[in-house]
């Protein structure tokens, strides 16, 4: 017997999509201390640990190393990762992995460390030059086994198939391939305890941007699953970011932020991001500002530019984050959403505009020209962006 939809009910078409993510996730406070149980079956007996010098100085990698030693695993540390890592950093990590005879790679740190770990695992196993991997689906592989453990709740890199590096003086290029998805993402909220408030704030807004841009992306692969993950990510992040910034030892808030960041990463890994990221990248490349901060600085004005094309999506997200917003037309609710996000950024200490972080006004045309190079991102934006549009956004954000 055929079934007909009930009269008056709208039947929404479920669009075709392809969804990829990591095969395994371990989420548990203190999990890094159990690495000796988790890693050997996946990474083998010789592990390259990729991290940054700050985490080494703070002693944050010691529990991982101790657990590996107790399990009889030899390890070597590459601790030269810097923010917006240049190609030379990636090549050095890959060379160390090859010279060490690494059987697997562990990335422990923020997004830069995780991205370097992905590419080091790839280049240590394949003769393909790094430059030939840039773009979508160009990395051929194979790669070494890979585990990623984030120490910030922001990039979601532990569950994405993307790695971004700085080429030349300031340009950023991305390698996008399912090959880069790790074998396991290890979420240990204790690694994020005590993270300074300004880093918590910037990385938290970064994760919220990932969710917003994934939800509104016009990428043909933006399906119901990505949208559902983006909504849940935004709910967790919006409900906990103030507490996490206010108290660096609030473990429940840190756990929620780390989970929200991961879910946002899953969403944008499949739906992609748009103009906020495209306009943020030149700010980081030229002025060496943290990625989360650059996203936060341009977010309100890019969203105001986009609102004519996606007011409905913004309105649907608005009450996910701010459940006290009054009922009203989509356009008004979308405008309120953007205004409240800007106020949230200010409340948690994000600088108000580009001037506040010493961006010179004469640099804005250069930034707009560079933003137009981010074609793989701009194609997903709900509203087309010209160079003149990008310059207008930068001027309003100034």
DSSP class per residue in 196-229: -HHHHHHHHHHHHHHHHHHHH---TT--HHHHHH
User: Smallest Cα–Cα separation from 158: which of 56, 52, 42, 265?
Assistant: 265
* 6 has pLDDT over 60: no
Domain contains 11: no
The mean pLDDT value of the chain amounts to 93
Look up the CATH number of the domain holding residue 70: 3.40.50.1970
Q: How far apart are the first and last CA of the chain?
A: 63
Q: Is the pLDDT of residue 364 over 60?
A: yes
Question: What is the tens place of the pLDDT at every residue in 225-270?
Answer: 999 999 999 999 999 999 999 999 999 999 999 999 999 999 999 9
Q: Are residues 187 and 202 in the same domain?
A: no
**What's the pLDDT band for 357 if we cut at 50, 70, 90?**
very high
- Residue 4, pLDDT above cutoff 60: no
Are 152 and 284 part of one and the same domain?
Answer: no
Residue 74 CB neighbour total at 10 angstroms: 14
Tell me which H or E stretch contains 369: helix 364-371
Rounded-to-integer distance, Cα 26 and Cα 184, Å: 7
Two structure tokens written together for 350: 């994000």
Rg (CA), the chain: 21
* 237: containing domain: 197-397
- Whole-Å CA distances, 200 to 7, 17, 241, 337, 374: 49, 33, 8, 21, 27
User: Are 235 and 347 contained in the same domain?
Assistant: yes
Q: Which of 2, 20, 384 is nearest to 218 (CA)?
A: 384
Give me the pLDDT at residue 327, please. Answer: 85
What pLDDT is attached to residue 13?
A: 59
Inside any domain, residue 14: no
Shared domain for 136 and 211, answered yes or no, is no
Domain-ending residue, one of 176, 192, 208: 192
Do 154 and 281 reside in the same domain of the chain? no
* 1 pLDDT above the threshold of 80: no
**Residue 2: pLDDT band with limits 50, 70, 90:** very low
pLDDT of 81 higher than 70: yes
Better-predicted residue by pLDDT, 340 or 18 = 340
Residues 267 and 382 in one domain: yes
Residue-level length of the chain: 398
pLDDT top residue among 13 and 133: 133
pLDDT for the residue 12: 54
Buried b / exposed e over 1-29, threshold 16 CB at 10 Å, is: eeeeeeeeeeeeeeeebeeebbeebbeeb
Query: Which CATH number belongs to the domain containing residue 366 in this structure?
Result: 1.20.1090.10
Judgement on whether residues 64 and 91 belong to the same structural domain of the protein: yes
Looking at the domain assignment, is residue 9 inside a domain?
no
Residue 308 in any domain: the answer is yes
Query: Does residue 110 register a pLDDT over 80?
Result: yes
Q: Do 259 and 223 sit in the same domain of this protein?
A: yes
The reply to whether 170 and 33 lie within a common domain is yes
Question: H-type helices in 322-348, by residue range?
Answer: 330-347
More confident position, 168 or 24: 24
Q: Is the pLDDT confidence value at 168 over 50? A: yes
pLDDT at 175 over 50: yes
To the nearest whole percent, how much of the chain has pLDDT over 70?
96
How confident is the model over 109-122, as a mean pLDDT?
97
Omega within 30 of 0 (cis) for the link into 189: no
Q: Is the pLDDT of residue 57 over 70?
A: yes
- Can you give the pLDDT at residue 326? 86
Question: How far is C-alpha 214 from the geometric centre of its chain's CA atoms?
Answer: 11
pTM of the model: 0.91
Query: Based on the domain organization, do 212 and 167 belong to the same domain?
Result: no
Whole-number Å distance between alpha carbons of 295 and 299 = 6
């Amino acid at each position: 017997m055929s079934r007909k939809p009930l009269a008056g009910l709208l039947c929404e078409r479920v669009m075709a999509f392809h969804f990829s993510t990591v095969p395994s996730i371990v989420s548990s406070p203190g999990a890094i201390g159990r690495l000796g149980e988790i890693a050997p079956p996946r990474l083998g007996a010789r592990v390259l640990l990729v991290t940054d010098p700050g985490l080494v100085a703070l002693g944050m990698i010691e529990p991982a190393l101790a657990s590996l030693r107790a399990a009889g695993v030899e390890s070597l540390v590459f601790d030269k990762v810097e923010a917006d890592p240049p190609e030379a950093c990636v090549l050095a990590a890959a060379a160390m992995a090859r010279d060490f005879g690494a059987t697997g790679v562990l990335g422990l740190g923020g997004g830069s460390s995780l991205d370097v770990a992905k590419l080091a695992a790839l280049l240590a196993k394949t003769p393909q030059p790094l430059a030939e991997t840039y773009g979508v689906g160009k990395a051929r592989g194979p790669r070494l086994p890979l585990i990623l453990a984030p120490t910030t709740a922001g990039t979601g890199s532990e569950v994405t198939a993307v790695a971004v590096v700085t080429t030349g003086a300031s340009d950023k290029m991305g390698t996008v391939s399912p090959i880069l998805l790790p074998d396991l993402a290890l979420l240990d909220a204790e690694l994020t305890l005590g993270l300074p408030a300004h880093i918590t704030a910037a990385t938290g807004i970064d994760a919220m941007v990932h969710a917003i841009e994934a939800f509104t992306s016009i990428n043909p692969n933006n399906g119901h699953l990505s949208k559902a993950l983006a909504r849940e990510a935004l709910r967790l992040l919006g409900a906990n970011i103030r507490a996490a910034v206010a108290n660096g030892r609030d473990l429940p808030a840190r756990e929620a932020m780390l989970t929200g960041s991961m879910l946002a990463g899953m969403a944008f890994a499949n739906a992609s991001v748009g103009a906020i990221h495209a306009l943020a990248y030149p700010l980081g490349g030229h002025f060496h500002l943290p990625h989360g901060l650059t996203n936060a600085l341009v977010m309100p004005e890019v969203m105001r530019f986009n609102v004519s094309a996606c007011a409905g999506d913004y309105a649907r997200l608005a009450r996910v984050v701010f459940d006290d917003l009054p009922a009203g037309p989509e356009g008004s609710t979308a405008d309120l959403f953007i205004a409240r996000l800007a106020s949230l950024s200010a409340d948690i200490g994000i600088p108000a505009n580009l001037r506040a972080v010493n961006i010179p006004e004469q640099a804005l045309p250069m930034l707009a020209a560079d933003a137009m190079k981010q074609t793989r991102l701009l194609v997903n934006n709900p509203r087309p962006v010209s160079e003149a549009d990008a310059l207008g956004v930068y001027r309003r954000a100034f």
